[in-house]
Amino acid sequence: MTEQLMLLPSQNVRRSKVLRIPADYSDRDAIRLATALIAEMQEEKSEWDDEEIVAHLEAHGFQVINLILGPGLD
């Protein structure tokens, strides 16, 4: 089985994150869980940064994959 990846986009492309989805989640469940976990973090803290959100996702089985931005295709 191929691994499933999720892109967490950002307006600042350098802050975008790629996550490996835990094997026991379908894509739909992973998106729902990630959305809920991000919302939970944003509700708990009035000020947060992307690293705190990533740590919260990692605590629930997601893994960050290094994102290397290559040259543009256009």
pLDDT (tens, 9 = 90+) of the chain, 74 residues, equals 578 999 999 898 888 999 999 989 998 999 999 999 999 988 888 888 888 889 999 999 999 998 888 888 87
So what's the pLDDT on residue 72?
A: 83
So what's the pLDDT on residue 70?
A: 84
So what's the pLDDT on residue 37?
A: 94
Residue 73: inside a domain: no
Q: In terms of residue numbers, what domain contains 59?
A: 5-65
Q: How many angstroms separate the Cα of 50 from the Cα of each of 45, 46, 53?
A: 12, 13, 5
Per DSSP, the residues of 18-45 read: EEEPPTTS-HHHHHHHHHHHHHHHHHH-
- pTM confidence score: 0.80
Residue 39: inside a domain: yes
So what's the pLDDT on residue 1?
A: 59
Residue 72: inside a domain: no
Residue 13: inside a domain: yes
Q: How many domains does the chain have?
A: 1
